[in-house]
Structure 1
Amino acid sequence: MNILRLLLPATLCATLLAALPAFAAAPAPTISEAAAQDGDWVSYRDAYRQMIRFDKYGKPKHLIQHHYQVAPKDRSVSLEGVRLTLVGPSTRLNLALDAVGRANFPLLKSAYDDNARLVLNRKAESYAMQPRISIIPRADGIYETADLQAACEQALNYFRYIGRSSMQDRKCVGVRFSYAHNTMDSPVRFRNTDQAQKEIAMADGSAFPEDAAPLLRTATYRFSEWPEKGQVMTQSAPIAIAPVFD
């Protein structure tokens, strides 16, 4: 009897331990699976192959920059609350989007090897997820006209390099500065060699001419409409600066 009393707790423990698997929760989903439930996703490897081409591009590119963009396909679709997350078995990184949906794209070998995903917390059919070239903004807000023309040409040459067929017969015609829609005055001016200044007209439009949304206040500086030499001056930092082609 004494031996049974000593063995009983161990027997009960063994019984309880044996029963535990029957009541245990299902295995927790991987990071990728859990994140994918929030919306749609695209392959990080596919995006990586597109984005790495800019880093490997050997021609002049010091006036332009490369981002990964989440762009609404329709003006009825908003970027508000949209999140893009890089998710994999050993990776979880939130990619902050700016006002036009651009994110700095991390080139991570570990995420590539893990076959990570770029997870969007929205249905992907409402958004285009794509590389985006834009012109690097200057801290002083002063742009030499020759530099703006060179930046546009750098963008066009890169598009041709990656084989974008729609750009083969296009030419650079200008540069577009974009601001928040509540910007009512003209924050962009042209200054000629005599120091005289003139406003560049503002209009409603998208940051990148081929985009459907979002709708912003834009000032398009067209090379042919202004003197060849001068400066374009911005009173405040634009959301984006885009090359314009015809």
Structure 2
Amino acid sequence: MLMLAPLLACALWPAQAHADSDAEEALPRVVIPAQRDAEWHSYRHAYKAARFFAPYLKTRPLIQAHLQIRPNRPELPLDGLEVQLAGETVNMTLPVDAIGRLTLPMLKQAFDEDAVLRLNRQKGHYHFSGRYSIREREDGVYDGASLRAACEQLLSAQRESGYRLRLIGRKCAGVKFVYAASGPVPEVLHKDAAGALTPLAVERGYPFENPTMGTYQVAIYRFADWPVQGEVLARGKPLAVGTLYD
């Protein structure tokens, strides 16, 4: 996602930081590189940006925000990523989920020490950004009305926090249940008021609003195709739940 407005937002949602490497260049190593070679980001900038965005989440309980590791080329893998928070006394490993997101700990000590967020990949292959998404449910049951409300919450949060010009004329059309690109076809079903189950179509698609993350298996729940009085049943937990705009 590209943040267009506030200075603090830009700190966490920077524009593409590094030019794409040559298509024939080898994929980055999985091992943790030397500190001087690692991709990194300022913890202070990330901390300030997280504080800036917190109010937009406070009144929108159905959505969340993460620090996002984005590949500079869509084909670069996201598996095995880790971020080390390193300062004078602070040193901890932050887990990264399967779609490149992590939760930033809000630590005054790390802020005061001007700590860095260091990725276990060499410079030039990935960059730090940010991500709004719909909260995943552990039980896999998503109420149709709640999915509609979640999409509206996310769209309004984007607009109010700096995306307004980019989203002029856009409206919520549905949500996307995102699964790994390889592996079994996910089973995501619609359950109507009478209890009848209908599988949602699964296709190759982008997990969020642009192609920077590559393609995944995506089950589309388009609002116009289903009544509000129903549920979506995800038989396997999705990597993420994204929005679909028209």
Query: 2:240, 2:181 → 1: CA distance?
Result: 13
What is the DSSP-based 3-state SS (H/G/I as helix, E as strand, rest coil) of the residue aligned with 2:162? coil
Provide the C-alpha distance between the structure 1 equivalents of 2:194 and 2:204, rounded to a whole number of angstroms: 30
The number of residues matched between the two structures is: 213
Counterpart residue number, 1:202: 202
TM-score (norm 2): 0.79
Instruction: Provide structure 2 residue ranges, at least 5 long, that are not aligned to the other structure.
Output: 1-32
Q: Which runs of 5+ in 1 are unaligned?
A: 1-33
SS in 2 for 1:94: strand
Alignment-derived partner of residue 231 in structure 1: 231
Aligned residue type for 1:230: G
What's the TM-score, normalizing by structure 1?
0.79
How large is the RMSD of aligned CA atoms in angstroms? Answer: 2.1
Q: Deviation of residue 124 (structure 1)?
A: 4.3
Q: Which residue of 1 aligns with 2:40?
A: 41
Name the stretch that deviates more: 82-91 or 92-101.
82-91
The 2-side partners of 1:141 and 1:219 are apart by: 13
Please report how far the alpha carbon of residue 68 of structure 1 lies from its aligned counterpart in structure 2 after TM superposition: 0.7
**Contact 1:186/1:201 (CA < 8 Å) preserved in 2?**
no
Identity %: 37
Asked whether the 8 Å contact 1:40–1:124 carries over to 2, the reply is yes
| Distance (Å, rounded) in 2 between the aligned partners of 1:209 and 1:163 | 15
1:96 to 1:213, Cα distance in 2 relative to 1, 3 A: same
**Conservation of the 8 A alpha-carbon contact between 1:183 and 1:217:** no
Contact 2:185–2:217 under 8 Å retained in 1: no
How far 1:186 sits from its partner (Å)?
4.1
Greater mean deviation of Cα atoms: 112-121 or 140-149: 112-121
1:160-216 Cα shifts (integer Å, max 9, x gaps): 121123134321111110112344334111111122111111112232232433532
Between Structure 1 and Structure 2, the one with more helix by share is 1
Pairing of 1:116-195 with structure 2 (within 5 A): 116-164=115-163, 165-195=165-195
Cα separation, 1, equivalents of 2:226 and 2:190:
8
The equivalent residue for 2:80 is 81
Alpha-carbon shift at residue 114 of structure 1 (Å): 1.2
